[in-house]
Structure 1
Amino acid sequence: MFGMNGMDPSSMAQMLMSADRAPLDGLLRTQRGQLSAQKEAYSQIKGKLQALQDAIKSLTTGTGLSSQSASFSAEGYASATVKSGAANADYQLYVKQLAQPDQYSLALDENWTVPSQGLLDITLDGQTLSLDLSTLDPSTGLSGLRDAINQAADNNGVQASLVRADGQTHLMLTGSKTGASQAMTINLSGGNGEAAYTELQTAITNKTQLSGAQDAVIELGGASGLQVSSSTNTFDGQIDGLTLTVTKAHAQDEFGNYTDAPLGLSVATDQAAIEESLSGIVDAYNALVSEVQKHTQSKEGKGAALAGDSMARGLLGRLRGTLSNPPADFSLAQLGIKTDRYGKLSLDTAAMAKLQESQPGALEEAFTGANGLLTRLEADAKPYLDRNGTLVQRDRSLQSGLDRIADRQEALDMRMDKVYQRYLSQFTRMQTLAQQMQQTMSMF
């Protein structure tokens, strides 16, 4: 609103102050927008690079590159894990027997008490647990003997438990490990003829073997084929690149002849598994390429946020340099990786399968070995993503720039407030002077 002389000092002061600050506000707004756009762009690129690193790490530290799979002709007998170096092959086998520990049952009266003298020796795998019965509380009976065995300092794997059946209590002694070398011997000596000692001695003499220590045995090639044994139910190392775990033995008749057909085991290249293992990495890499290109390539007269910034291009160039330098003796095409003119990747699972067929284990080594493509890509990403990595430092630098602009904006606001007050004072004096002149002229 204008005063009586057609002039509002506040409005005039505000108008002139706004004219003074408009170019400065525009400069700060432009600088703030540029830095904010760069900060957001690098945040997006960092997220895509982190996703790529996570995809690689899940493969290099997890189950590895699944380029082969094992299948069986029947379920329930065995499972298998294929490792690097396995040859594609078909096997026929019988599970002759499973590995098991030694286990004995000693039948004793429920009210049996620990004898005042005696040395109980339990030997397993060449090591002996020696228990001096005189150190036990006689009143604890069977439970005290069980606990003393389980808690003995020189216990080398004997597990004691109590089972009650048919009016008797059975002291069960079980080896903790399987295998033929785990045979158990039980001896008692040093008694003084008391009834409790004699009862324990009788129980040991008449002990019942519930299971005998034995190795797991498979027969490769069918009945009477190549016998392969393992102290556990897992065969690891007997067949290159294959870990086989057996869970059930094949049935045999009274003459030891197998009553069922042999178990078929087939190790073959699994193209679906290859694609599943690597597709996540390819997708993550392509997403990163798209993100970098979006922020570095200007389109239709619109400048990209990172058009003049070399870091993002340098990151992409580093990754592309690694991909263009596959392990010795292989080309990228042989490894089943194709690139298009935009730098995007795609999979050729047929080429991967061909390499796996001709050189078992080569595919895994080329990707996840010490000098593998994925191993080196993960190393390329690390300096950018570390706690004080390149991208973190760039983000801090851009944030510092935004903080400085905020400080300059605050200083500008304070300075412009003073300019406004100066203009307001000047126009107020002018208005007062004009009013005085009008009053003087009205007197004539």
Structure 2
Amino acid sequence: MASIILPGLGLGSGLDTTAIVKALVDADKAAKQGQIDRGTKTNTSSISGIGTLKSLMAAFAKSMTDLGSKTSPQFGGFVASSSEVKFVTAIATNTAVGGTYAIDVTNLATSSKVASAAFAGGTTSSITDGTLTIEQGSGTFNLDIKPGATLQSVRDSINADASLKSAGISANIVTDSFGSRLVLGSTTTGAGSDISVSGIPELTIDGGNVIGTSTSPMDEFSAGSIGAVAVDAKFTVDGMALTSKSNAVDKAVSGLTFNLVSVGKATVTVATNTDGLKASIQKFVDAYNAIANSVTALTKPSLDDEGNPTVSAALTGDALPRSILSAIRGPLSETGAGDKLTVLAQLGITTNQKTGALDFDSTKFTAALNDKKLGGEVQELFTGNNGLLERMNKAIAPFSDAGGVLDQRTTSLNKTKTKLTNEQAALDRRIESLTAVLTKKYNDMDTLVGKLKATASNITSMFEAMAAQQKNS
């Protein structure tokens, strides 16, 4: 052990007891404090690194979910465009065929809206109790109207009924110059979808009776379909006359859904979705590279000019990031369930051997779509049954799911953090106690030495006085 240099002199012993105590305490504390400091530094860095990993995995999982959306498909092999979107819009699936279609919309499909006779008493008008029967097409719905019901309570009962709500039927109250009327509407369109109401005399509505027209003006007794009954959509495709109960027409042309917007003409063009597919694939490549590069950065230490490590990364030496990289690389090499298109390399997507990231060759991609006609199979490769996105989500689930590997690691690191905090507190208490004990001992020693020195000085003075007296006698 190195010798302790004691600066300055004390009052009693001539020793700097404060410095002695500090040196002894520091020597006793050094080993354990170093262990705690190293552990705390490593633990803090790991907590930060795992937190970053969790954020990266969450962002990657969201990217995979967004790309695999069933409501907004990202990998359509074909795209349909309309010359007049104010009349017709169109969506193409992977079974579509390239070409053009002339659409002429002459009539939109409409839904039923009916009104009861007017109630002069307004929304609080009394309604006879009994069973209110609402019919639409083949559907019949019975509603129990309790004694004391009002027009408003009947409306509220209709809107609260789960079966009516599921059928898309709702009610409201409209007040005109004759009084308040119960008005029922439906989201169902097409001929034969008119609503009729029976069972309560004052709320009886014949859906086949049209009111509110020039030939049938409104009065307080008017009840029936407002303006017109529900009708089918009428349109032509390349001159062929067609009808549809819905304005979303998905059976007229294979692989296409026409959305009829208003009366008018439009030309719908179907072509290979080269730009859309390229953009979607680029999103996948970017999402993959973002996590692959970031995970690598969490384990790669900083290097000096000679290539020697200088500063360790947050998770240097940790096997978990490598496990994640291995997990997300696995699905890339698996063969898909497509016919002609089974691997990413066919679309110009390859793994960079130096960085581990993905490279996307747009020239090879364009050739795959134009020359090999693989556009229709891209969606199947990525989002089909057991497609790449599904396999990727399964691969990252053990890490990103609640209670998964990353959550378990975070819990373990937090326990270690608590343990280190407790060890630091225990060490501080022990050092405080040791400091107090040593301080008392050295203070006692200093006091005792001071007394001994005083006694020695008195004895010396006595002998000097005796010697002087003998010399003078």
1:215 and 2:232 correspond:
yes
Query: Pick from 274, 282, 285: which aligns with 1:282?
Result: 285
1:73 alignment partner AA: S
In the alignment, the residues of structure 2 paired with residue 55 and residue 355 of structure 1 have an alpha-carbon distance, to the nearest angstrom, of 25
Paired position in structure 1 for 2:407: 392
Cα pair distance change 1:383/1:103, threshold 3 Å: closer
Contact 1:106 1:170 (C-alpha < 8 Å) held by counterparts: yes
Query: Pick from 371, 379, 392: which aligns with 1:377?
Result: 392
| Range 40-49 or range 329-338, more displaced | 329-338
Paired position in structure 1 for 2:189: 178
Contact 1:103 1:175 (C-alpha < 8 Å) held by counterparts: yes
Contact 1:355 1:363 (C-alpha < 8 Å) held by counterparts: no
In the alignment, the residues of structure 2 paired with residue 428 and residue 168 of structure 1 have an alpha-carbon distance, to the nearest angstrom, of 102
Q: How does 1:92-171 map to 2 (within 5 A)?
A: 92-101=102-111, 125=137
For structure 2, which runs of at least 5 residues remain unmatched after alignment? 1-7, 122-132, 202-208, 218-224, 461-473
Cα pair distance change 1:16/1:219, threshold 3 Å: same
Q: How does 1:183-198 map to 2 (within 5 A)?
A: none
Paired position in structure 1 for 2:98: 88
In the alignment, the residues of structure 1 paired with residue 106 and residue 324 of structure 2 have an alpha-carbon distance, to the nearest angstrom, of 57
| Range 208-217 or range 8-17, more displaced | 208-217
1:314 and 2:323 correspond:
yes
Contact 1:50 1:385 (C-alpha < 8 Å) held by counterparts: yes
In the alignment, the residues of structure 2 paired with residue 235 and residue 305 of structure 1 have an alpha-carbon distance, to the nearest angstrom, of 56
Contact 1:178 1:215 (C-alpha < 8 Å) held by counterparts: yes
Deviation at 1:168? 12
CA RMSD of aligned residues (A): 4.5
1:340 alignment partner AA: N
What secondary structure does 2:252 align onto? strand
Q: Which structure ranks higher in relative contact order (CA pairs < 8 Å, sequence separation ≥ 6)?
A: 1
TM-score by length of structure 2 reads 0.70
Contact 1:102 1:213 (C-alpha < 8 Å) held by counterparts: yes
The Cα offsets for residues 384-418 of structure 1, whole Å up to 9 and x where unpaired, read as 12221100101111121222222222222222223
Q: How does 1:239-258 map to 2 (within 5 A)?
A: 239-250=253-264
What secondary structure does 1:398 align onto? helix
Deviation at 1:6? 2.7
Query: Pick from 23, 26, 29: which aligns with 1:15?
Result: 23
2:419 alignment partner AA: R
Contact 2:87 2:262 (C-alpha < 8 Å) held by counterparts: yes
1:2 and 2:18 correspond:
no
Deviation at 1:163? 8.8
In the alignment, the residues of structure 1 paired with residue 283 and residue 331 of structure 2 have an alpha-carbon distance, to the nearest angstrom, of 18
Paired position in structure 2 for 1:44: 52
Q: Percent identity?
A: 26
What secondary structure does 2:345 align onto? coil
In the alignment, the residues of structure 2 paired with residue 174 and residue 398 of structure 1 have an alpha-carbon distance, to the nearest angstrom, of 59
In the alignment, the residues of structure 2 paired with residue 179 and residue 307 of structure 1 have an alpha-carbon distance, to the nearest angstrom, of 66
In the alignment, the residues of structure 1 paired with residue 439 and residue 137 of structure 2 have an alpha-carbon distance, to the nearest angstrom, of 102
The Cα offsets for residues 258-296 of structure 1, whole Å up to 9 and x where unpaired, read as xxxx52111223444334434444333222222221222
Deviation at 1:246? 0.9
Deviation at 1:316? 0.6
2:101 alignment partner AA: Y
Paired position in structure 2 for 1:29: 37
1:89 alignment partner AA: G
In the alignment, the residues of structure 2 paired with residue 402 and residue 175 of structure 1 have an alpha-carbon distance, to the nearest angstrom, of 61
Paired position in structure 2 for 1:60: 68
What secondary structure does 1:327 align onto? coil
Contact 1:97 1:218 (C-alpha < 8 Å) held by counterparts: yes
Aligned residue pairs total 401
1:406 alignment partner AA: T
What secondary structure does 1:237 align onto? coil
Deviation at 1:423? 2.5
The Cα offsets for residues 112-134 of structure 1, whole Å up to 9 and x where unpaired, read as xxxxxxxxx9986367899xxxx
The Cα offsets for residues 208-258 of structure 1, whole Å up to 9 and x where unpaired, read as 89435432133222xxx23332111110233333221112223xxxxxxxx
Paired position in structure 1 for 2:247: 233
In the alignment, the residues of structure 2 paired with residue 411 and residue 389 of structure 1 have an alpha-carbon distance, to the nearest angstrom, of 33
Query: Pick from 417, 421, 427: which aligns with 1:406?
Result: 421
In the alignment, the residues of structure 2 paired with residue 172 and residue 437 of structure 1 have an alpha-carbon distance, to the nearest angstrom, of 112
The Cα offsets for residues 120-168 of structure 1, whole Å up to 9 and x where unpaired, read as x9986367899xxxxx99xx9xx99x98xx89x9999798987969x99
In the alignment, the residues of structure 2 paired with residue 310 and residue 401 of structure 1 have an alpha-carbon distance, to the nearest angstrom, of 18
Deviation at 1:105? 10
In the alignment, the residues of structure 2 paired with residue 13 and residue 184 of structure 1 have an alpha-carbon distance, to the nearest angstrom, of 96
Contact 1:356 1:363 (C-alpha < 8 Å) held by counterparts: no
What secondary structure does 1:338 align onto? strand
For structure 1, which runs of at least 5 residues remain unmatched after alignment? 112-120, 131-135, 191-200, 251-261
What secondary structure does 1:239 align onto? coil
In the alignment, the residues of structure 2 paired with residue 29 and residue 432 of structure 1 have an alpha-carbon distance, to the nearest angstrom, of 38
Paired position in structure 2 for 1:196: none
| Range 322-331 or range 48-57, more displaced | 322-331
